């Protein structure tokens, strides 16, 4: 196997990992937006008792408990997004390094 083929075989799984990470990041970002909208709606209501969906049913709950739960979920999602972004940067750096090596092999 030539060096170019080896570099390409290294790049392919990295590219797939990167695509998977980007999909996860997008999914988490959408969840974050939904949570923020829910918190905004909770902040608008003056009621102390609200309802949340649990499976196929609505359950009566205390507003401050729901808000706390949503804030915790938002924090967890934010941390996961940061971790994904760190891994994303590492993968991009590796891919750029492989691209540079390929460019040198082709050009040199």
Q: What is the pLDDT of residues 69-83, one digit of tens each?
A: 999 999 999 999 999
The pLDDT tens digits for 88-99 are 999 999 999 999
Pairwise CA distance, residues 9 & 12, whole Å: 6
Identify the band that residue 1 occupies on the pLDDT scale cut at 50, 70 and 90.
Answer: low
Mean pLDDT to the nearest integer, 35-50: 96
What pLDDT score does 105 carry?
A: 83
Pairwise CA distance, residues 23 & 108, whole Å: 36
Judged by DSSP in three states, 58 sits in strand
Tell me yes or no: is domain 3-107 CATH 1.20.58.480.
Answer: no
Task: Return the domain boundaries, the chain.
Answer: 3-107
Whether 60 has a pLDDT exceeding 60, the answer reads yes
Percent of the chain having pLDDT more than 70?
Answer: 97
Give Dmax over CA atoms of the chain in angstroms: 71
């Amino acid at each position: 196997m030539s060096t170019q083929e080896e570099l390409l075989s290294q790049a392919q799984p990295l590219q797939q990992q990167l695509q998977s990470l980007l999909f996860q990041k997008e999914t988490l970002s959408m969840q974050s937006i939904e949570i923020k909208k829910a918190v905004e709606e909770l902040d608008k209501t003056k009621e102390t008792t609200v309802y949340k969906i649990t499976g196929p049913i609505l359950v009566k709950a205390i507003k401050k408990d729901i808000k706390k739960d949503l804030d915790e979920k938002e924090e967890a999602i934010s941390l996961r997004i940061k971790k994904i972004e760190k891994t994303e940067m590492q993968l991009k750096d590796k891919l750029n390094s492989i691209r540079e090596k390929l460019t040198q092999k082709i050009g040199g």
